[in-house]
Every structure is written in structure tokens, then in C-alpha cells.
Amino acid sequence: MRRLNPSRGMARLLFFMGVAVMVFRGVAGAVEYIDINNPFIRKIPIAVPFFQAKTGTEVQAEIAEKGAVRLAETLEFTGFFKILDRAGFLEDPQRMGIETPQIRFDSWTTVGAELLVTGGFEVLDGALAIELRLYDTFKGRLLVGKRYQGARTDLKKIIRRFCDDIIYTLTGQHGIFTSRIAFVSNGTGNKEIYTCDFDGSDPKQLTRTKAITISPAWSLDGDWIAYTSYLKGKPDLFIKNLKDGRSHQVTHEGLNITPAWRPFRQELAATLSFTGDQEIYLLTETGKTVKRLTHNQGIDVSPSWSPDGKKFAFVSKRAGTPQIYIQDVESNVVQRVTYYGRHNTQPAWSPAGDRIAYTSLEGGETNIFIVGIDGKEPVQLTRNAGDNESPAWSPDGNLIAFCSYREGPARIYVMTAFGTDQRRLLTLSGEQTDPAWSPRSQRD
């Protein structure tokens, strides 16, 4: 188990958030809190009592409650935790101890908590100073603690940042709390690209093409989005920089679809059909063709890169039905991944690199499966809940966003990579499809 380098963490926080932070000493030890082989089999019971206001006013009571509720919800979203009901707590959150010597850990182990988050804060002239701590209740030990100073409006950012510290402390990997999800919604009457936070909050319309606009794809740094749009009456690729507005287009005759950014290089793979055949090409970020990747008469579509950018998974009809294949970019060696089912599409290579999620149409039902890159042991993740498609991995590889028709109209849902905890991400007018999970933000 690794811990954040405190000085680096602090410098980063100061620079990007305008929030000052101080790290308390914490002893994580070599205990495995979350089994990364299947972290969702047993959820860790965690208590998140309301934060403690150092000086009690009504405004502060609101921060105390909302802050704690938001922190608990943010943690719960990961699927790792069972949030304990505050009604059962034995301690009064405004009087209990929130630091090590004063905390009565047996009050928390008695209610079943294995982890405890305490918060203490004060508001002075609109500025917020808040201390957040994570404890192992059985060991009676501080795992991580931080003091943040910022504006009151920074509360959401501060909480997400501390949640990331919690996840990093428990798993050795950063969380997903700075990531966003791009998707397609037709609420305006046309399919347009939208983005929202990882938890479905703060949805924003990104494109206003008044045409069919689909298939958003994030670059590895999260600065670029590529998508397909019928803005000019046919399916073309649009490549947009979200920071500086630079944009490029790929408008060959025929199809220009299914963009996928190659990790560590500013390149994309996409399907073009200007030769008359649907083939996958490697393009620069400006849309110029680097080289043709697939050489096969028939449909080749939907590339998805391996995390090292050396191989890509894709859909090909070369064996008569659409199946998932993997191709090495250098050697061009192709290997078939799916053998079960007659209609397997939408490969999504896992961030860990060992598995591929995909969509299978079988017996009139569309469901999401996961299979090892060796093609062994496909596992069905969705069942008996309408059609389910378009799997998209969270950047930490623990969650999968997908599109489902289980409630009638298409909506975006999230589940763990083991198929558990399936829930709707957000509800907007119209239908939502095509989720694409961004990488973690590099700067927030």
C-alpha cells in the first residue's frame, strides 16, 4: 500500500484548486482493505457522521449535513462501501471526538463500522476551513487526514479530493472523482453530445449541431473529444479541443465514424469507407491518415485501444458474423476474441488491459459481457433488464457505464465491473446513449 507524497499533493492542491491543504500524519500499514480481485463481494461498512461545526450557526449546520451526505454518496458511488445509517449511531456528531485521542472507537465498532470519516470545520468571512479524517475503527488508527482552506463554494471539490485520498489510501490507486462522462442525448430533438460529472451531476450540452451527432471519444489527457456528426449531411468525424477550441474534420466520402484515441500518442483510430470498404485507419489529431490498419473485405469497425496503445480490439465480420478481434499495430497479427454468440460488437478494452467488455445480441436480447483478451470465460454482466449496450470503463477500471432500455427510454446506467450495483446515472429529457468515460483530470 502506497501513500500520497504529502508535499507533492499539497503543491498540486494549492496550484489547481486555490485550496490550501495540510496533511496529518497517518499510518496506513500493510493492511489490504479492498480486495482488488473482487472489491464488490464484501462492501466495507463505513460511518460518515455529520461534520462538526466549531462554532454553531444555521449556515454551518447546512454544511455539516450536506458535506457529510455528499461525502457518503461520493464514496458509495464507487461500490466499495456500505454507508451506515446515521440513525443507528451512538455518538452525537456535534459533541463526539473527531480526533484520535477523543474518538470512542468502540462506539463505532459496535454499530458495525470498520471505517469512520470525521469532519470538523469553521466558516470565517465566507472562507471555509475543514479537517477531514479517515479512521480504521478496529485498529483505532488514523489512515489519512487533511485540512483544507478555501471558499465555501469549494466544498464539493474538497470532498471529492478527500474521497480520492480515501480511495488511494485503501486501494493504492486514484479514484474517479475528477472524471467526467460524455454521452448522447436527443432532448433537443437532435442527438447531441453532452458531458456530466462522473456521478451524473452537472450535465452540460457540448455540441449544437442540430444534426445526428454520436460516438463521443475522449483523448487520454481529456483535452480533446472526437465524435461523429451529420452536420454536413453525412457521417463525418469532428475532432475538438475542449480547452482552446481548435477543431479538425475528417470528411472523406462514405463513413467517417467510431473514433478512438490512442493512448500516449495524439492519434486516433477510426472507420472510414472512402475505398468502398469499411476499414479502420490510424489518423493524426488533425485528421490526416497515418496508415490503414485493417485489410479485410467486409465490415471492420469500432476500434478500442489496449492501455499501452500497442493493440486495438475491433469488430469484424470476416468470419460471417460480427465478432471481436484484437490486432497488433506493428505486426498486424490478428486474433479472434469472441466465439460465443452470433452478434458481438462494441469492444471496450479494460484500463487494466486484461479484459474486454462488449455487447452481445443473443436470442433477441442485447446484453453486456466481459471476456479475457485470450477469449476465455465470457461473463454476462446484464440480464433480464431490457437491452443493454455501449459499455464504457471508468478510468480506474472498477465501474462500467452503459446504456439500457430497462425503464423504456434509453438511459445511462453504471455498474461495477462485476455487474453488481446497477443504477441509473442521470435522467434528462429525451433518450441518452453512448456513454464515454473520460480519464481522470490531470489538473483538478
Partner 1 sequence: MKRKLWIVAALFLVVPGLLFTVSCAKKKVASEPGMMQEESEAAKSAAEKAREEELARQRALEEQRLKEAEEAKRKMIAEERARFENEDIYFEFDSATLLPMAQEILKRKAEYLKANPNLTVVIEGHCDERGTHEYNLALGDRRAKSAMQFLKDLGIPASRMVAISYGEERPVDPGHNEEAWAKNRRAHFVIQ
- Amino acid found at 183: F
Are 90 and 107 in contact by the 8 Å Cβ rule? The answer is yes
Nearest CB to partner 1, comparing residues 106 and 253? 253
Nearest CB to partner 1, comparing residues 13 and 270? 270
Q: Is 359 in the site for partner 1 (CB under 8 A)?
A: yes
Q: Is 299 in the site for partner 1 (CB under 8 A)?
A: yes
Binders of partner 1 among residues 231 to 260 (CB under 8 A) are 233-235, 253-255, 257-258
* From 54-62, 90-98, 299-307, 419-427, span contacting partner 1 (CB under 8 A): 299-307
Tell the smallest beta-carbon distance from residue 215 to partner 1 (Å): 6
Nearest CB to partner 1, comparing residues 137 and 256? 256
**Interface pick for partner 1 out of 38, 57, 188, 321 (rule CB under 8 A):** 321
Nearest CB to partner 1, comparing residues 346 and 382? 346
Binders of partner 1 among residues 14 to 53 (CB under 8 A) are none
Tell the smallest beta-carbon distance from residue 258 to partner 1 (Å): 5
- Residue 137, Ramachandran bin (φ over 0: left; ψ between -120 and 50: alpha; else beta): alpha
**Interface pick for partner 1 out of 9, 26, 216, 322 (rule CB under 8 A):** 322
Q: How many chain residues interact with partner 1 (CB under 8 A)?
A: 34
Tell the smallest beta-carbon distance from residue 274 to partner 1 (Å): 11
Tell the smallest beta-carbon distance from residue 340 to partner 1 (Å): 16
Are 362 and 371 in contact by the 8 Å Cβ rule? The answer is no
**Interface pick for partner 1 out of 301, 329, 357, 392 (rule CB under 8 A):** 301
Tell the smallest beta-carbon distance from residue 262 to partner 1 (Å): 18
Binders of partner 1 among residues 203 to 232 (CB under 8 A) are 212, 214-215, 228
Partners of 218 in beta bridges: 225
Nearest CB to partner 1, comparing residues 254 and 309? 254
Nearest CB to partner 1, comparing residues 118 and 390? 390
**Site pattern 149..188 for partner 1 (x: CB under 8 A):** ----------------------------------------
Tell the smallest beta-carbon distance from residue 370 to partner 1 (Å): 16
Binders of partner 1 among residues 337 to 356 (CB under 8 A) are 343, 345-346
- Max distance between CA atoms of the chain, in angstroms, equals 73
Tell the smallest beta-carbon distance from residue 220 to partner 1 (Å): 21
Q: Which three cell numbers stand for residue 135?
A: 479512521
Q: Is 273 in the site for partner 1 (CB under 8 A)?
A: yes
Are 292 and 278 in contact by the 8 Å Cβ rule? The answer is no
Nearest CB to partner 1, comparing residues 60 and 228? 228
- Amino acid found at 17: M
Residue 189: is it exposed, middle or buried by C-beta count within 10 angstroms (0-12/13-18/19+)? Answer: exposed
Partners of 357 in beta bridges: 348, 370
How many angstroms separate the CA atoms of 30 and 32, rounded?
Answer: 7
Q: Is 389 in the site for partner 1 (CB under 8 A)?
A: yes
**Interface pick for partner 1 out of 52, 118, 219, 271 (rule CB under 8 A):** 271
Tell the smallest beta-carbon distance from residue 305 to partner 1 (Å): 15
Tell the smallest beta-carbon distance from residue 183 to partner 1 (Å): 13
Tell the smallest beta-carbon distance from residue 403 to partner 1 (Å): 9
CA distances from 274 to 203, 212, 299 (A): 36, 20, 13
Is the Cα torsion angle 109, 111, 115, 120 positive or negative in sign?
negative
Give residues in contact with partner 1 (CB under 8 A): 191, 212, 214-215, 228, 233-235, 253-255, 257-258, 271, 273, 276, 278, 299-302, 315, 321-322, 343, 345-346, 359, 361, 366, 389-390, 433-434
